[in-house]
Chain A
Amino acid sequence: MRYIRPLSIEDAVGQLAGSAGTAAILAGGSDLLVRMKGGFVEPDLIVDIKAIAGLSEIRETADGFSIGAAVPCAVLGESAALKKAWPGVVEAAKLIGSKQVQGRCTIVGNLCNASPAADSVPALVAAGARASIVGPGGKRTIPVGSVPTGPGKTSLAKGEIIEAILLDKRAPRSGDAYLRFIPRTEMDIAVVSAGVNLTLDEHGVIKAARVALGAAAPTVLLVEEAAEALIGRTLDEAALERLAKVCFGACRPIDDKRGTIEFRRKVAGVLARRAATTAYARAGGK
């Protein structure tokens, strides 16, 4: 096993692409080290990306925000500008693990770990976030929802690194929210979750909506029909009921020790309703 800490993304990509055996990218390590300890992975090469310039920064640009792959989730919570623009994304990232884990874990790690129950992913998908990827063939940008392809699996090719998550500049009268169900008050894995992102017109009518569900299918679900249930309406009771019904129907969850299929489907609808209500209020809707 080798441990390297490259200073440039090109070097990191080159080392990953040229590695003969299994290679792992290390940012926060809160998934990787646990898997190494459990004997589930034994990488021949560990590429620590934290010394790469820019990867530990949140940058606010004319287009929005760029959150570097090595930024710990605790730092997201400390960014007043990010919290103001994307409170749902930040509240989702802040739900991952304890204070100790928050100091290390990253949203890119959460995404690439590809757990169906990842907390930050539905919020990012609802936010329309994109992943900026650097690889041997150059750069490409894809929607966050296209990264996980199944539990533990991603669409990233050998040598590719997600260098940042990109969030758009906020349109006026916009708000997002994320909620999950767990049987405890914190520090648990989502049984099911919902992220909602809304933009309103000047009369409080929803003109754009994205609804994403977590732990409801092998990968995060973007529920287009749920967005359609909201667009063109204020958040009246009929719209909320339709939203819950559509989310109930869109879920394809599993039965496991954390919850049954029926429970997950029902709670997905409840959480979508509540997240929509919060997102609507955050967007200034009354």
Chain B
Amino acid sequence: MAGVAVSTTINGDSVEYLCQPDETLLDVLRDRLGLTGAKEGCGTGDCGACSIILDDRLVCSCLVLGAEAEGRRVETIEGMAHGDKLHPLQQKFLEHAALQCGICTPGFLIAAKDLLAKNPDPTEEEIRFGLAGNLCRCTGYDKIVRAVQDAATVMKGA
């Protein structure tokens, strides 16, 4: 298989890579670029652990080919904090202990960031529906929902 040359933007940086035509963007991020924040849970778009934002759309990076990122903007969990300063969602996830094993956390944070960008003042139901594409097998979701509600309050005040 011939490699595909891709130029894209990841977390604001121009990035170039070569990938195989059948290689997912998730595999490119993790195995070629060392961005291991996005996790592979199911690999079939069911669990949301590999969530990223592609041109302002929340997507599962396991359902995107690496080749498709050509000329597009990719945002991953690695771009969420500014240096040592955590994003309010990250801070509130810590404060509310909204994680246990942590595998689902990057996906939840990215999905919650996308949710609040489009709906800064969501109801609890909107949060639960908005995050339904992310599965957590530890927390039971309540702490995650409370962390997102709290972060929304902080972000509205900012």
Contact = CB atoms under 8 A, between A and B. Distances in A.
A247 to B, nearest CB: 29
A98 B21 contact: no
Most interface-central of A28, A36, A97 (chain B CB within 10 A) = A97
Interface in A3-51: 3, 5, 26, 28-30, 33-34, 36-38, 46, 48, 50
A36 B21 CA distance: 12
B57 A98 contact: no
Given A1-B21, A2-B21, A74-B57, A101 B63 contact: yes
Contact of B63 (A2, A30, A38, A48): A30
Contacts of B130: 99
B81 to A, nearest CB: 22
Contact of B111 (A29, A72, A100, A104): A100
Task: Using C-beta atoms within 8 Å of the partner chain, give the interface range for chain B.
Answer: 20 to 34
Contacts of A101: 45, 60, 63, 133
Contacts, number: 87
A199 to B, nearest CB: 32
Interface string A90-108: 0000000111110110000
Interface in A151-201: 186-187
Contact of A1 (B22, B44, B51, B134): B22
Interface in B36-92: 43-45, 48, 51, 54, 57-60, 62-65, 67-68, 70
Nearest to A101: B45
A103 B22 contact: no
A48 B68 CA distance: 8
Contacts of B60: 100-101, 104
Nearest to B67: A3
Contact of B21 (A3, A72, A99): A3
Nearest to A50: B68
30 contacts: A1-B21, A3-B65, A5-B70, A26-B65, A28-B63, A30-B45, A33-B24, A33-B62, A33-B63, A33-B64, A34-B44, A34-B45, A37-B24, A46-B21, A46-B65, A48-B68, A50-B68, A74-B57, A97-B133, A98-B45, A99-B115, A99-B133, A100-B48, A100-B59, A101-B45, A101-B63, A103-B57, A103-B58, A104-B59, A104-B63
Interface of B: 1-2, 4, 20-22, 24, 43-45, 48, 51, 54, 57-60, 62-65, 67-68, 70, 111, 114-115, 129-130, 132-134
